[in-house]
């Protein structure tokens, strides 16, 4: 979520160029007092750092950098976000989770699903939750979907709920907005592979379906148009559960003025055709700030 100019793990490593790269050097970092009240998002990189406490809303990363890890100071950061000063259009506390589709590495990771049954005993194939084939433990579209479902379940039950309880907050996922952090820094299938894009989409759909299953207040997508297209290509069908989700658009290091303008600029488009840009993110002074487009 932080330092978004990174190497992509799809096939060969590539570097993404950011829209404002030619002008960013001229932008002087702002102080917290100059940019608040805005939203701020933080996660494990800020565990030992001081962050402002005058944010309008806070978005907290549940994971520790990968979909199968936990933010080590999650409870503390949930408390920070819950004390946000408030926004008329955004909930004080929101959450984001890492995403991935690591099917090529099924022999190296312990979290790759062996069946379509999750840790709660829910068989997503026989209960008609998954639209794909039954997961048999192979590098298949059906197992990619199940991987996404399982990682979302772990983020809720194993990572978030204990931390929320420790912080004295509502542990129900239905009380919060959840954002899927879709970046090329994580492991994805290549579009030139057989069903590569389809497996990436399936993993994202599995995560989305789990949050819908547990009644999440809202589920949105965080990325950029370039990263999104690199990961999913044109494999998102019109009836996909991803299609109507809000977009949280990452701009990189820029100004508040440009972040506000990006809410409606034709230069940026919602990640899915029937969604809308709800938040824009900009980096200033090594901290992520968020503009509400509502």
Confidence band (pLDDT; 50, 70, 90) for 1?
low
Confidence at residue 20, expressed as pLDDT on a 0 to 100 scale:
28
Q: Which domains are seen in the chain, by residue range? A: 35-218+231-243 (3.20.20)
Is the CB of residue 176 less than 8 Å from the CB of residue 211?
no
Confidence at residue 22, expressed as pLDDT on a 0 to 100 scale:
27
Rounded to whole angstroms, the maximal C-alpha distance in the chain is 57
Confidence band (pLDDT; 50, 70, 90) for 291?
very high
DSSP per residue, 11-35: SS--BPPPTTTTTGGG-PPPPHHHH
Distances (CA, A) of 17 to 179, 190, 289: 23, 19, 20
pLDDT, one tens digit per residue, over 181-202 is 999 999 999 999 999 999 999 9
Partnered with residue 253 across adjacent β-strands are 283
- 117 phi and psi, to 5 degrees? -100, 125
For helices 225-232 and 196-213, the axis angle rounded to 10 degrees is 110
Q: CA–CA separation, 286 vs 50, rounded Å?
A: 12
pLDDT, one tens digit per residue, over 11-43 is 333 333 233 222 223 344 444 444 457 999 999
pLDDT, one tens digit per residue, over 97-153 is 999 999 999 999 999 999 999 999 999 998 789 999 999 999 999 999 999 999 999
Is the CB of residue 154 less than 8 Å from the CB of residue 213?
no
Confidence at residue 2, expressed as pLDDT on a 0 to 100 scale:
43
Confidence at residue 88, expressed as pLDDT on a 0 to 100 scale:
77
pLDDT, one tens digit per residue, over 257-275 is 999 999 999 999 999 988 9
Confidence at residue 87, expressed as pLDDT on a 0 to 100 scale:
76
Mean pLDDT, range 59-69, rounded to an integer? 97
* H helix runs in 39-190, sequence order: 74-82, 141-154, 161-167
Count the alpha carbons within 13 Å of 230 in the hemisphere toward its beta carbon.
23
Is the CB of residue 91 less than 8 Å from the CB of residue 81?
no
| Whether pLDDT at 167 is above 70 | yes
Confidence at residue 55, expressed as pLDDT on a 0 to 100 scale:
95
Mean pLDDT, range 42-70, rounded to an integer? 96
Confidence at residue 26, expressed as pLDDT on a 0 to 100 scale:
33
As a 3-state breakdown, the chain gives helix, strand, coil percent values, each rounded to 5, of 30, 15, 55
Confidence at residue 64, expressed as pLDDT on a 0 to 100 scale:
97
Q: What per-residue string of b and e applies to 153-165 under the rule 16 or more CB within 10 Å gives b?
A: bbbbbebbbebbe
Confidence at residue 123, expressed as pLDDT on a 0 to 100 scale:
96
Confidence at residue 9, expressed as pLDDT on a 0 to 100 scale:
42
Q: CA–CA separation, 119 vs 292, rounded Å?
A: 36
Q: CA–CA separation, 284 vs 36, rounded Å?
A: 12
């Amino acid at each position: 979520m932080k330092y978004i100019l990174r190497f992509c793990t799809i096939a060969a490593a590539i570097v993404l160029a950011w829209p404002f790269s030619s002008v960013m050097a001229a932008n002087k970092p702002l102080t917290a007092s100059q940019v608040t009240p805005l939203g701020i998002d933080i996660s494990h990189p800020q565990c030992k750092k001081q962050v402002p406490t005058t944010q309008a809303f806070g978005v907290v990363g549940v994971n520790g950098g990968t979909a199968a890890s936990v933010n080590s100071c999650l409870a503390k950061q949930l408390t920070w976000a819950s004390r946000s000063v408030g926004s008329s259009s955004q909930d004080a506390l929101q959450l984001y989770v890492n995403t991935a589709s690591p099917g090529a590495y099924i022999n190296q990771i312990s979290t790759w699903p062996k069946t379509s049954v999750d840790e709660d005993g829910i068989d997503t194939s026989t209960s008609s939750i998954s639209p794909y084939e039954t997961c048999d433990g192979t590098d298949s579209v059906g197992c990619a979907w199940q991987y996404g479902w399982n990682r979302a379940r772990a983020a809720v039950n194993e990572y978030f709920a204990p931390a929320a309880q420790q912080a004295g907050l509502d542990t129900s996922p239905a009380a919060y907005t959840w954002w899927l952090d879709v970046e090329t820094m994580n492991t994805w299938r290549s579009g030139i592979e057989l069903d590569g894009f389809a497996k990436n989409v399936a993993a994202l759909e599995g995560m989305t379906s789990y949050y819908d299953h547990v009644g999440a207040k809202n589920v949105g997508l965080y990325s950029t148009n370039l990263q999104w297209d690199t990961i999913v290509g044109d494999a998102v069908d019109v009836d996909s559960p991803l299609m109507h989700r809000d977009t949280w658009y990452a701009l990189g290091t820029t100004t508040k003025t440009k972040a506000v303008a990006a809410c409606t600029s034709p230069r940026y488009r919602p990640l899915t055709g029937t969604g809308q840009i709800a938040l824009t993110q900009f980096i200033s002074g090594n901290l992520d700030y968020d503009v509400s487009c509502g």
